[in-house]
Structure 1
């Protein structure tokens, strides 16, 4: 392991860490030596599978259930993590859902669900970790946003608003914590090979790929690489890493 990539001695909490991008991040962070907490909402079996993979290569991981759209459950998640590992060094806000609908058909519930899970959750978890991070004078807060928050997306006013909000949150909190050893950054993935994308009909997927200059979908490991970079970098803050194959420049 390259020393600069080592996360030995660090504790990482990943929301929505049981599958897709979150699972890939959890495994890569664990490979670098971090003790990992995988948050899941409903799929304990998927979280257990990720933990099993991590333990097979000698890593340390546990899972805690919490609906991070809920303030109290989010605080409990952070408290459980600190009770078990003594601290949190890296918070990766990855939990997210979609409820795509053209705006004229978008229900209030579909709006609230996406805002609560994708954006309010970032406040919930970060507000719980910020004081412990300030006290230890170290922290890496990494928010998984989306190019849709920069570009917009048809039928995605709720999702776009939430992901754009994450970017504004990232920049503002970065200003407040820059002198205290805490960096706050965002990663904005493009179209990534996940279960969500796999469910798209093949002809629609081909149309999507045609809009990407690199002519392919991204991989979850490519997003995890960006997270590892940010977890190890002490002089980058308030930034968005665009890992999108050129679909938005």
Structure 2
């Protein structure tokens, strides 16, 4: 018989969510905290946003701490993981959410433009996973959730760097699932599409070109909370037999 799930299935767990001061990352951090996890909220800059997310979690009865760290640098990624261990004594969940989604024409795209995107999405995820690996294994039920993007599967105009980075994250997810399966660490990717967020115009366009091409079958755009619910499931006891998978959350805007 299936045992009833605890009302707080992540009680006692510790999670890191990169890029979690706002939007989807913030919703994921808040959801994991609401389900009982102690959460490290991360941002590269804007400490006031990190502090606001930590304060929100605490005001609603959760446990959280903020950590400013640039995960594109080894020292930054190592410091982020160390923050969880030094503060909470363990690490069970790593959510690689940090991303930059600028648009740029191929004809004018510089190598610096390319590296800025791939550095956050791919290098950042790799460095965090490498630094977290031994702690996730020690958990006995570790979980990594990478946050991809619909255009990583569908393609999109003026996004060769973003599409490549997000598609690469799919490959990384599958490779890590193989590497970590024996240690009972699950690795999955959640691919959001057409989500209503507050866009920082320095890192993302106000109206991405691909939004004019794709239309959710459900007749609405999603919310950050729609993504957070799927991530929470993958991090909890109901997700322990799911690994190496790409889960699309886009209201039917893209059907793989």
TM-score above 0.5: yes
Deviation of the 1:57 alpha carbon: 1.4
Q: Distance in 1 between matches of 2:169 and 2:247?
A: 13
Helix, strand or coil: the match of 1:101?
coil
Matched, 1:200 2:200: no
- Give CA deviations for 1:146-166 in whole Å, capped at 9, x if unaligned: 111111110000001110111
Deviation of the 1:2 alpha carbon: 5.0
Distance 1:79 1:197, change over 3 A: closer
User: Which TM-score applies when normalising by structure 2?
Assistant: 0.91
Match of 1:186 among 189, 193, 204: 189
Distance 1:205 1:122, change over 3 A: closer
- The structure where helix makes up a greater share of residues is 1
Match of 1:59 among 62, 84, 109: 62
**Structure 1 residue ranges without an equivalent (≥5):** none
Q: Distance in 2 between matches of 1:206 and 1:241?
A: 20
Match of 2:20 among 9, 13, 17: 17
Deviation of the 1:214 alpha carbon: 2.1
Match of 1:92 among 91, 95, 98: 95
Match of 1:227 among 194, 213, 231: 231
Runs of 4+ in 1 over 4 A off after TM superposition: none
Equivalent residues of 1:5, 1:228 under 8 A apart? no
User: Which TM-score applies when normalising by structure 1?
Assistant: 0.93
1:217 alignment counterpart:
221
**Structure 2 residue ranges without an equivalent (≥5):** none
2:177 alignment counterpart:
174
Equivalent residues of 2:191, 2:247 under 8 A apart? yes
Helix, strand or coil: the match of 1:3?
coil
Equivalent residues of 1:146, 1:190 under 8 A apart? yes
Number of equivalenced pairs: 247
Deviation of the 1:135 alpha carbon: 3.0
1:39 alignment counterpart:
42
Deviation of the 1:137 alpha carbon: 2.5
